[in-house]
Amino acid sequence: MSTGSGLWDRLRAMVSRRRAPLDRERTDLVVVVSSFDDAEACSAALTRGAESEPYWTESDEAVLRHHLTLPPDSVGRAVELAAQDGYTVGGSPVETPPAGDASLRALVLQRTQVLDAMHCAQEKSRMVSLAQRLGGTALGWDALQPPVSPD
Q: What is the CATH number of the domain that holds 128?
A: 3.30.70.970
Domain count, the chain: 1
Contact 29, 144 (CB under 8 A): yes
At residue 16, does pLDDT exceed 50?
no
Per the DSSP assignment, residues forming a β-bridge with 68 are 107, 138
pTM (predicted TM-score) = 0.81
Q: Is residue 28 part of a domain?
A: yes
pLDDT in tens, 101-149: 678 999 999 999 999 999 999 999 999 999 999 999 999 999 999 987 6
The set of residues, in sequence order, having a beta carbon less than 8 Å from that of 142 and lying 6+ positions away, is 31, 33, 34, 35, 64, 65, 67, 94
pLDDT at position 91 over 80: no
Q: Domain containing 55: what range?
A: 23-145
The answer to whether residue 6 is domain-embedded is no
In this predicted structure, the answer to whether residue 15 has a pLDDT above a threshold of 90 is no
Among residues 136, 134, 127, 133, the alpha carbon closest in space to that of 109 is found at 127
Whether residue 14 lies inside any domain: the answer is no
